[in-house]
A and B are shown apart, each in its own frame.
Chain A
Amino acid sequence: KAGVTQTPRYLIKTRGQQVTLSCSPISGHRSVSWYQQTPGQGLQFLFEYFSETQRNKGNFPGRFSGRQFSNSRSEMNVSTLELGDSALYLCASSPRAQGLGSTDTQYFGPGTRLTVL
């Protein structure tokens, strides 16, 4: 099975611009989560989508948004970029079985390295 893919791998933007990142999950995985990773804060959860619906959301401002398509592919958008948004953005997919006893093992993509100048 192909792993999680993310495009683009690297991106340079300037303050005030917006950016859209794309993620294709592992075939059959219906859950897609997005994380921001910085040296100071580590891996921080942004949001999770399951069957085109946002199911969980982290503590990030409304400038960060996402969506999921019917084929489970997901996009993340950041508007009005700030210098502090420079980070590695990781997408992860999960089978996300329902019910008690299920776990949320994440299968990560390689990430998109975003640099805001």
Chain B
Amino acid sequence: SQKIEQNSEALNIQEGKTATLTCNYTNYSPAYLQWYRQDPGRGPVFLLLIRENEKEKRKERLKVTFDTTLKQSLFHITASQPADSATYLCALDGNYGGSQGNLIFGKGTKLSVKP
């Protein structure tokens, strides 16, 4: 069955450094991958989407890569700030590479940025 793993449950870094979060998947060929941010007591908020034919996507201080050979996505936050502290979730489409269907989420990585 499909499996998504976010390697670290928690990641602690110093303000100003680059945070790198990892999302791996198995038994799967998703058409796209998404990253969400979730703050305590709130629902996840969509950040970025990258399609299978894209290697990299950027949005301000955020960068996502997608390696379909390694079955891995990396999520980078450059010049991190304490306000970036949150749980970050990766999600893949649930329909075996199709374009419609529910999302399957990883369990998330809790990022803490220390001033």
Please provide the chain B residues from 77 to 108 with a CB less than 8 Å away from any CB of chain A in the complex.
89, 91, 93-94, 99-108
Interface membership of chain A positions 81-113, coded 1 if the CB is closer than 8 angstroms to chain B and 0 otherwise: 000000000101000101111111111111100
Q: Is B42 part of the contact surface with A, judged by Cβ < 8 Å? A: yes
Binds B, one of A13-21, A40-48, A63-71, A72-80: A40-48
Contacts of A26 in B (CB 8 A): none
Give the size range of A's interface with the partner.
20 to 34
Contacts of B103 in A (CB 8 A): 33, 45, 104, 106
Q: Which residues of B contact A (CB under 8 A)?
A: 32, 34, 36, 41-46, 49, 89, 91, 93-94, 99-108
Supplied contacts A45-B104, A106-B46, A108-B44, 10 more A-B pairs, CB within 8 Å: A4-B43, A33-B102, A35-B105, A42-B105, A45-B102, A58-B102, A103-B93, A103-B99, A104-B93, A104-B103
Q: Which residues of A contact B (CB under 8 A)?
A: 4, 33, 35, 41-45, 48, 56, 58, 90, 92, 96, 98-111
